[in-house]
Structure 1
Amino acid sequence: ILKSVPAGAAIRAAGSDIAVGATVVTAGMRVTPMIEGVLASINATHVVVYPRVKVGVISTGDELVDDGSPLGAGQIRESNRTMLVRIVEEAGATAIDLGIIRDNEDELETALRSAVSTGGCDALVTSGGVSMGDYDIVKAVLSRIADMNWVQVAMKPAKPFAFGTLKNPVGTQIPIFGLPGNPVSSLVSFELLARPALRTMMGFGAAAHRPEVFAISDDAVKRQPDGKVHFDRVHASWGSDGRVHVTRKSEQSSHQLATTAVANALMMVPDGNGLTAGDNVIVTFLGADAGPTAAQ
């Protein structure tokens, strides 16, 4: 024995972690595994929480193929619904895959009404058919059965957007988010418009929005004034200076999902003549593990 042991050593006093009367959790906190452990430690077996919202995701179009069969003339692989189901889940909601509805107004109306009644959806997300002036069965049906607003948002990509409500059989107004059909536009409009709304429905408060930080653009960005804020897809990483740096992906068209898939952030490029390398920019992180990667 090399040293004496004072009385009380290695004894954890009752209340040293959580004192009587202390506030343990507050409204708006997400119930993480650690929070569950804390609740268990104080014998809080029942707590009032916001439920995960159930979000129906739907794609429409005779041209969409998702069964692996060879493509015919005018057909494309379905990708938006596949992507949206996953990012709805990553937002903390429960995604309900409503499949592909062919170009038939009666079938689409039946599917939508079923989703908000027997399907139990708390919200609906569609992609395509929201551009001004275009005829699409989504616009035709929703304009008839729901209270919709078809708008143009001053941003690029994802300028067209629709929002409205569809009443379910018990009188509850179910929100509908109409996203553009181009894959990148669909992603950006979900991230910036639909995702915060869905997370607000689940009580996330300020955390409903993706984290934003100031970063340094390592690339010059050329653009022309057009009255819109551009959201370019970039890769963010920690620099040797301790700042977040972003490199811009070269392919920025709204159909180029492959390049977007390897980006981890959106960079805000204000209306004007662009950026010079070294400029400070506002960056919104993407993905389940949102944040910059390690320095190269």
Structure 2
Amino acid sequence: MLHVKTPDEALEIIHGAFAPLGRPPEAVPLLSARGRVLARAVTAEAYVPDFCRSTVDGYALRAADTFGCSEALPAQLLLAGQVRMGEGAGLALAPGHCAAIPTGGEVPQGADAVQMLELCEDYGDGTIGILKSVAPGHNMIFRGDDVKPGDTVLPAGRRLEPQDIGALAALGVTAVPVVPRLRVGVISTGDELVPPERAPAAGQVRDVNGPMVCALLEQAGALPRFYGIIPDREDRLMGAVEQGLTECEVILLSGGSSVGEKDAACRVMSALGEVLFHGIAMKPGKPTLLGRMAGGKAMVGLPGHPVAALFCTHLFVRALLARLEGRALRRRQITARLTEEVSANHGRAQYNGVFLREGPQGMEAAPIRGKSGLITALAGADGYFCIPRDCEGLPRGCQVLVTTFTEA
């Protein structure tokens, strides 16, 4: 009999039993760093920007020279020169003078504001009329407004997004220190399984979990390695797991985790390490198991049913990978209204896939009906929601928190 944990307890065990692996960082080119995990914090070594810049096309000037001016009584300033893009200002402004400046140009010394072109008038005789007064700092970005030397720009453990790549480029970081990608071995088990390219004979089915779990791992930033389909023979499974543990930091077994004569995953896990839990109070996914192997490596036994394997990988394997990489797991969640009633009376947390759509009152979640062995029901699904174990169902129109299948 399974002594099950709640989903929250399973996540707590993952966090408590495993620690970041602490592998030496590797440097990757900036253009290859998206999706990688920063191995150490990135701090600024210089001012960004390194000069005061204009945010508009117009005239750099001294704000005091414009006080009290208006369209009826413009401030008249002498044009001292022009700032060109990509070059230093090359001049200093004396009182009563201004300089033409483009957006992004360097504000000359002596100037403390910029008035936009639309509020200025060129009289054609070397004088410029300013039609509206400005305060110091108007239409300017000052030196170091973005970052100053010593400022922490990105913390260690952050999974890099496109906006982070832009920040690194601004800092001149072209070799990014990242955590090595986790190598995760994937093993499908079962006498009934055949590869996807083979037509199943009587009593056989194509291996769904192997390709699906590998895709989920790639989405999570790991390096999956598929060890193929292993028949229901404990010696063959033992050999595949031992090989995987020499080459990978994590091993995922698909199938063979239920309690039964031919389900060998738990016995193999016990022989090679410590079983941390066997069973989670959830539907689908109850027979999931987790073990800790030598050297802090992990082994997860996933249910053989594809929908159950999908939910368990998304819920628990992603959390495990984040823990081993030393980063916080970020889940993208959206509040939506159920389009129909969903019943639940299992004494377990129930996870339901949904399609999301925009409705007249906001986002709507259409529940997907199907059994845990039928993966095509979830094709095109946007995410899932959970019905707590002590709840007998949710009515139509109830607001639920949907966790999306896409990365946060």
* TM-score, shorter chain, exceeding 0.5: yes
| Counterpart-to-counterpart distance in 1, 2:349 and 2:238 | 35
Q: Secondary structure at the match of 2:301?
A: strand
| Counterpart-to-counterpart distance in 1, 2:397 and 2:58 | 60
1:9 matched residue in structure 2 = 101
| Counterpart-to-counterpart distance in 2, 1:153 and 1:268 | 14
Q: Identify the range of structure 1 (82-91 vs 36-45) with the bigger mean alpha-carbon deviation.
A: 36-45
Does the 8 Å contact 1:236/1:245 carry over to 2?
yes
AA partner of residue 200 (structure 1): R
Does the 8 Å contact 1:28/1:204 carry over to 2?
yes
Does the 8 Å contact 1:182/1:255 carry over to 2?
yes
Q: Is 2:308 aligned against 1:179? A: no
Give the CA deviation at 1:4: 7.1
2:338 matched residue in structure 1 = 217
Give the alignment partner of residue 123 of structure 1, picking from 224, 239, 250.
250
Q: Is 2:202 aligned against 1:202? A: no
1:90 matched residue in structure 2 = 219
Does the 8 Å contact 1:60/1:138 carry over to 2?
no
Does the 8 Å contact 1:130/1:161 carry over to 2?
yes
Closer/same/farther in 2, CA of residues 137 and 223 from structure 1, 3 Å limit: closer
| Counterpart-to-counterpart distance in 1, 2:381 and 2:196 | 28
Does the 8 Å contact 1:59/1:99 carry over to 2?
yes
* Structural mapping, 1:141-160, within 5 Å: 141-160=268-287
| Counterpart-to-counterpart distance in 2, 1:69 and 1:44 | 48
| Counterpart-to-counterpart distance in 2, 1:214 and 1:227 | 24
CA deviations over 1:153-172 (Å, ceiling 9, x no partner): 121111111000222xxxx1
Q: Is 2:290 aligned against 1:163? A: yes
Does the 8 Å contact 1:92/1:199 carry over to 2?
no
| Counterpart-to-counterpart distance in 1, 2:162 and 2:319 | 23
Q: Secondary structure at the match of 1:184?
A: helix
Q: Identify the range of structure 1 (215-224 vs 52-61) with the bigger mean alpha-carbon deviation.
A: 215-224
| Counterpart-to-counterpart distance in 2, 1:178 and 1:195 | 14
1:54 matched residue in structure 2 = 183
AA partner of residue 286 (structure 1): F
Taking only the aligned residue pairs, the percentage that are identical comes to 33
Closer/same/farther in 2, CA of residues 267 and 33 from structure 1, 3 Å limit: closer
AA partner of residue 339 (structure 2): D
Query: Structure 2 length as normaliser, TM-score?
Result: 0.62
Q: Secondary structure at the match of 1:107?
A: helix
| Counterpart-to-counterpart distance in 2, 1:99 and 1:54 | 16
Does the 8 Å contact 2:351/2:387 carry over to 1?
yes
Q: Is 2:397 aligned against 1:278? A: yes
Q: Identify the range of structure 1 (65-74 vs 153-162) with the bigger mean alpha-carbon deviation.
A: 65-74
1:294 matched residue in structure 2 = none
| Counterpart-to-counterpart distance in 1, 2:325 and 2:391 | 37
AA partner of residue 68 (structure 1): E
2:242 matched residue in structure 1 = 113
AA partner of residue 76 (structure 1): V
Give the CA deviation at 1:257: 0.7
Does the 8 Å contact 2:183/2:223 carry over to 1?
yes
| Counterpart-to-counterpart distance in 2, 1:31 and 1:282 | 25
| Counterpart-to-counterpart distance in 2, 1:134 and 1:110 | 19
Q: Secondary structure at the match of 1:112?
A: helix
Q: Secondary structure at the match of 1:160?
A: coil
Kindly name which structure, 1 or 2, has the bigger radius of gyration based on alpha carbons: 2
Closer/same/farther in 2, CA of residues 131 and 63 from structure 1, 3 Å limit: same
Closer/same/farther in 2, CA of residues 42 and 61 from structure 1, 3 Å limit: same
Does the 8 Å contact 2:353/2:385 carry over to 1?
yes
Q: Is 2:154 aligned against 1:25? A: yes
Q: Secondary structure at the match of 1:165?
A: strand
Does the 8 Å contact 1:147/1:165 carry over to 2?
yes
| Counterpart-to-counterpart distance in 1, 2:58 and 2:279 | 76
Give the CA deviation at 1:46: 4.7
Give the alignment partner of residue 254 of structure 1, picking from 361, 372, 376.
372
Q: Secondary structure at the match of 1:58?
A: strand
Structure 2: segments with no counterpart, 5+ residues: 1-56, 61-98, 107-141
Give the alignment partner of residue 266 of structure 1, picking from 374, 381, 384.
384
Does the 8 Å contact 1:59/1:81 carry over to 2?
yes
Give the CA deviation at 1:72: 2.4
Query: Structure 1 length as normaliser, TM-score?
Result: 0.84
Give the CA deviation at 1:190: 1.0
Does the 8 Å contact 1:154/1:229 carry over to 2?
yes
CA deviations over 1:172-216 (Å, ceiling 9, x no partner): 1310111111111111111111111212322331xx142223321
2:358 matched residue in structure 1 = 238
2:81 matched residue in structure 1 = none
Does the 8 Å contact 2:276/2:292 carry over to 1?
no
